[in-house]
């Protein structure tokens, strides 16, 4: 099977690692800590760091521990669009925006299965393209996201929520913020970075 590129190499965990993290696990430098983490030589039982900090860092350092093996898709493979609740979200719970590619859905489902935190998951019509290709073919646009927000009545269901765009969609952030009147934040390129990106306040481990 030809494995799809899920952009694991684009994760930079250095900004997420503090000297406190290193000292908690008995290391004197951030580099030493990260190298051990990436090599799989650091386990929860070896580390004094809280579980809610350790596992997101581990997944960011070793993405294959959380990401499924998915095959490269030669053609777009669309799945249903819609607004899907994760862990009983409320009016101000974050809204994760993504496209309606089957591959994207499989990856995000695997990552979201690790959290008990409430999220909204807005699947927008991108003609079945993954986010990277949807940006190339202009299938993920502010207008399409606005159509999804309107169709799912998000202004009524989640009026206080911030929209979180995948990293590849950074170029449409300002336009979407202007059209939606909402805060819009650009998230990571690789889904395995989401747990550490959101941190312990928005990502309670399952």
Residues 131 and 192 both lie in one domain = yes
- Mean pLDDT across the stretch 130-142? 97
**Rounded to whole angstroms, how far apart are CA atoms 133 and 139?**
8
What end-to-end distance do the CA atoms of the chain give, in Å?
30
Rounded Cα distance, 95 and 70, in Å: 24
Model confidence at 46: pLDDT above 80:
no
Taking residues 137-165, report their average pLDDT. 98
Distance from chain centroid for Cα 199: 11
Residue 177 lies in a domain: yes
Structure confidence at residue 176 as a pLDDT band (50, 70, 90): very high
Residue 57 has pLDDT above 80, yes or no: yes
Q: Does 124 share its domain with 198?
A: yes
Q: Tokens 């202009």 sit at which residue?
A: 138
User: Is 3 a member of any domain?
Assistant: no
Residue 102 sits in the same domain as residue 183: yes
Q: How many CB atoms lie within 10 A of CB 89?
A: 20
In terms of domains, do 100 and 61 share one?
no
In a domain, 112, yes or no: yes
56 lies in the same domain as 87: no
Question: In the prediction, which pLDDT does 82 show?
Answer: 98
Residue 61 confidence (pLDDT) above 70: yes
* 32 assigned to some structural domain: yes
Average pLDDT, the chain: 93
Task: Look at residue 191 and tell me if it is in a domain.
Answer: yes
d(Cα 56, Cα 62) in Å, to the nearest integer?
Answer: 10
pLDDT at site 1: 64
The average pLDDT across 178-192 equals 98
Mean pLDDT along residues 166-175:
98
Between 88 and 30, residue with greater pLDDT: 88
- Domain total of the chain: 2
Which residues constitute the domain of residue 52? 8-65
- CATH code for position 120: 3.40.50.11600
Tell me: do 113 and 41 sit in the same domain: no
Residue-wise pLDDT for 71-101, tens only, equals 876 789 999 999 999 999 999 999 999 999 9
Asked if 61 and 87 sit in the same domain, the reply is: no
For range 54-65, the mean pLDDT = 94
In the predicted model, is pLDDT for residue 3 greater than 80? no
* Residue 23 half-sphere exposure toward CB, CA atoms < 13 A: 3
* Within a domain: 1: no
CA angle 42, 198, 100 (to 5 degrees): 110
């Amino acid at each position: 099977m030809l494995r799809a590129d899920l952009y694991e190499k684009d994760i930079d965990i250095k900004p997420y690692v503090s000297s406190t993290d290193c000292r908690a696990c008995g290391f004197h430098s951030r580099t030493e800590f990260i190298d051990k983490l990436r090599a799989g030589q650091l386990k929860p039982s070896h580390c004094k760091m809280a579980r809610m900090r350790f596992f997101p860092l581990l997944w960011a350092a070793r993405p294959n521990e959380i990401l499924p093996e998915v095959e490269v898709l030669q053609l777009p493979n669309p799945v249903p669009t819609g607004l899907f609740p994760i862990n009983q979200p409320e009016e101000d719970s974050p809204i994760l925006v993504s496209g309606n590619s089957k591959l994207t859905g499989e990856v995000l489902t695997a990552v979201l299965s690790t959290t008990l935190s409430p999220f909204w998951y807005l699947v927008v019509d991108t003609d079945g393209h993954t986010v990277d290709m949807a940006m190339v073919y202009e299938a993920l646009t502010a207008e399409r996201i606005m159509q999804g927000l309107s169709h799912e009545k998000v202004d009524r269901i989640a009026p206080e929520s911030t929209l979180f765009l995948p990293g590849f969609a950074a170029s449409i952030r300002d336009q979407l913020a202007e059209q939606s009147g909402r805060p819009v934040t650009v998230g990571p390129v690789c889904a395995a970075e989401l747990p550490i990106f959101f941190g312990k306040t928005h990502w309670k481990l399952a």
